[in-house]
Amino acid sequence: MPDIIKMVAKNLNFYYGRFKALQDINLTINERQVTALIGPSGCGKSTFLRCLNRMNDLIPGTRVEGELTLDGENVYAQSLDVVELRRRVGMVFQKPNPFPKTIFENVAYGLRVGGMRDNTYISQQVEKSLKGAALFDEVKDRIHDSALGLSGGQQQRLCIARALAIEPEVLLMDEPASALDPIATQKIEELIHELKRNFTIIIVTHSMQQAARVSDRTAFFYMGKLIEVDATETIFTRPSQKQTEDYITGRFG
């Protein structure tokens, strides 16, 4: 299948006050693929991820230059509805952050906030999302119990289900497995593999093995710059830049 372009960053700069955290980023994100963002701590991975659904807008004193598009539309256009953007571009954070509510209500949350009143639809969507996040079988008998009683790995899958319930097109994941044990991590990785049939996924990870296992393309960031992006296999076997090679072979970072 030919690559279909979902999002494009063109000459994107990003500032926290006077500090330029992203410099001239040019990156294309393909639809229904997994793109991994790798690079040493502080290189700008989370900052870039948050540009994609304008989460950085919530941080005072920040500024964006350049262009970012979703299906060809400018994400930073004045006329763009940011709430709608964040519905289309969902996010899962590093630490599972379930609300102190039931499992059901956690997943239903986005639908209710969006004004959905049809309880039959909400129930169907909750079940579908929990299935999509490979959690349903583990929780189906306690769906009205508190989400805080779930294990860390289950909580993270719940947060993924919560993101899926509002049917986003793009899913941003910032180190979604870093707080999890190897078995829970494997479940998340298997899930990512399933999810890319329907979603475009961008994942930040510190684990090279994880990037190699889950992603189609890998982008290497260093000190606010995108050094190199290519097919994951190419990045890990014959990167074109020395800095990429040094990083993936563990010489720094």
Ligand X SMILES: Nc1ncnc2c1ncn2[C@@H]1O[C@H](COP(=O)(O)OP(=O)(O)OP(=O)(O)O)[C@@H](O)[C@H]1O
By CB under 5 A, is residue 155 in contact with Mg ion? no
The one among 46, 215, 218, 243 contacting Mg ion by CB under 5 A:
46
Smallest separation (angstroms) from ligand X to the CB of 62:
8
137 in helix, strand or coil?
helix
CA 85 to chain centre: 14
Instruction: Considering the complex, state which of residue 7 and residue 126 has its C-beta at the smaller distance from ligand X.
Output: 7
Terminus-to-terminus CA distance in the chain, angstroms?
35
CA angle 96, 100, 105 (to 5 degrees): 95
What does 121 interact with, of Mg ion, ligand X, none (CB < 5 to 8 A by kind)? none
Tokens of 23: 């410099």
CB atoms within 10 A of CB 164: 24
How far apart CA 166 and CA 181 sit, in angstroms, is 28
**Beta carbon nearer to Mg ion, 46 or 232:** 46
Residue 98 interaction partner, one of ligand X, Mg ion, none, beta carbon < 5-8 Å per kind: none
Residues binding ligand X (CB under 6 A): 16, 19, 21, 39, 41-47, 59
- Using CB positions, name the residue nearest to Mg ion: 46
Answer with the entry of Mg ion, ligand X, none that 153 interacts with (C-beta below 5 to 8 A by kind): none
CA distance 231 to 95: 28
Residue 15: name its binding partner from ligand X, Mg ion, none (Cβ under 5 to 8 Å by kind).
none
Minimal distance in Å, beta carbon 54 to Mg ion? 17
The reply to whether 47 sits near Mg ion by the rule CB under 5 A is no
Q: From the CB of 136, what's the least distance to Mg ion, in Å?
A: 30
Q: Which is nearer to Mg ion, 146 or 178 (CB)?
A: 178
With 0-12 CB in 10 A as exposed, 13-18 as middle and 19+ as buried, what is 163? buried
Q: Which does 59 bind (CB under 5 to 8 A by kind): Mg ion, ligand X, none?
A: ligand X
Return d(Cα 234, Cα 153) in angstroms, integer: 31
CB contact at 8 A, 200 and 29:
yes
Residue with tokens 């189906």: 140
* Whole-number Å distance between alpha carbons of 178 and 214: 14
Check binding of 33 to Mg ion (CB under 5 A). no
Q: Which does 89 bind (CB under 5 to 8 A by kind): ligand X, Mg ion, none?
A: none
Residue 132 C-beta: closest distance to Mg ion, Å: 25
Site for Mg ion contains 125 (CB under 5 A): no
Residues lying near Mg ion in the complex (CB under 5 A): 46
